[in-house]
Amino acid sequence: MAPEVVDVRILVTGGTGQLGSAVVARLRAAGEEVRVVSRRAGPDVVRGDLRTGRGIDSAVAGVDAVVHCATDYFGRETQLARTLIEAARWAGTPHLVYVSIVGVDRVPLGYYRAKLETEQLFADSGLPATIQRATQFHGLVRGIIAGAARLPVVPVPRISFQPVDVRDVARRLAELATADPAGRAPDFGGPEILTAAELAEAVGEATGRHRRIVPLKVPGETFRAYAGGGHLAPEHRDGEITFREYLAERADHG
């Protein structure tokens, strides 16, 4: 006998990723029924691939909303969105919530251009859609800084970041997914804007590795855009968990 299909309310693409798993946890804690789609088999996961379309129709079937956290860093961001939009058209037009990045229209990176184009696909799809841009996640910023912190002297670019915790972004996305479509939602930023030197100092304190930090001016258009704060949202300090709190938690968990 075929297994009974349970009608779930919210599908999270990328629900196995950094942000997506926090969204799933947040929604489930709020009592929502959540389905996760992933290319890999796993517990509580529906198999599906947004690049090929395999399994996506059944993943989208019967949901009221989709939080689209899946992403492709190799130039196929728009393709994943197209697959999702097509599947959604045939599946009762659920509310599509897309996660983007603050500054996709100001920082000239290929990945950012693809995200901007994808925002437009959702906006033009005619489907109920919400686009949420967020600033850089703590994990990404720590990764950038920690890589350099292994050297005897820590070179850091002369730019600032506004890192945000994925759990804070997940809180916003959970609210959006269960509300009416909002179009482009107000940007979501981390609680503090810190220079890369201050962030490197915090990583040094957390790891007990104190190195000399050397701020450097980096040439090029992309760094000029970062130096100009194109990726920051100073008016939106919505996140609550600070970078130091995030680092302390990581240390506590080994």
Ligand X SMILES: NC(=O)c1ccc[n+]([C@@H]2O[C@H](COP(=O)([O-])OP(=O)(O)OC[C@H]3O[C@@H](n4cnc5c(N)ncnc54)[C@H](OP(=O)(O)O)[C@@H]3O)[C@@H](O)[C@H]2O)c1
Phi, psi of 63 (to 5 degrees): -95, 155
87-106: contacts with ligand X (CB under 6 A): 99, 101
Q: CA dihedral defined by 107, 112, 117, 120, rounded to 10 degrees?
A: -80
**Is residue 185 close enough to count as binding ligand X by CB under 6 A?**
no
d(CA 243, CA 253): 16
Which residue lies nearer to ligand X by CB, 52 or 212? 52
Q: Locate 7 and state its tokens.
A: 């009608």
The residue within the footprint of ligand X, chosen from 32, 57, 72, 198 (CB under 6 A), is 72
**Is residue 71 close enough to count as binding ligand X by CB under 6 A?**
yes
d(CA 227, CA 112): 16
CB of 223 to ligand X, least distance (A): 17
**CB of 165 closer than 8 Å to CB of 190:** yes
How far does Cα 117 stand from its chain's mean position?
16
The residue within the footprint of ligand X, chosen from 1, 2, 4, 40 (CB under 6 A), is 40
The residue within the footprint of ligand X, chosen from 32, 49, 198, 205 (CB under 6 A), is 49
Q: What share of the chain is helix, strand, coil (3-state, %, to 5)?
A: 40, 20, 45
CB of 1 to ligand X, least distance (A): 29
The residue within the footprint of ligand X, chosen from 8, 109, 123, 140 (CB under 6 A), is 140
**Is residue 116 close enough to count as binding ligand X by CB under 6 A?**
no
Residues near ligand X, by CB under 6 A: 13-14, 16-20, 38-40, 49-51, 69-72, 80, 99, 101, 115, 134, 136-137, 140
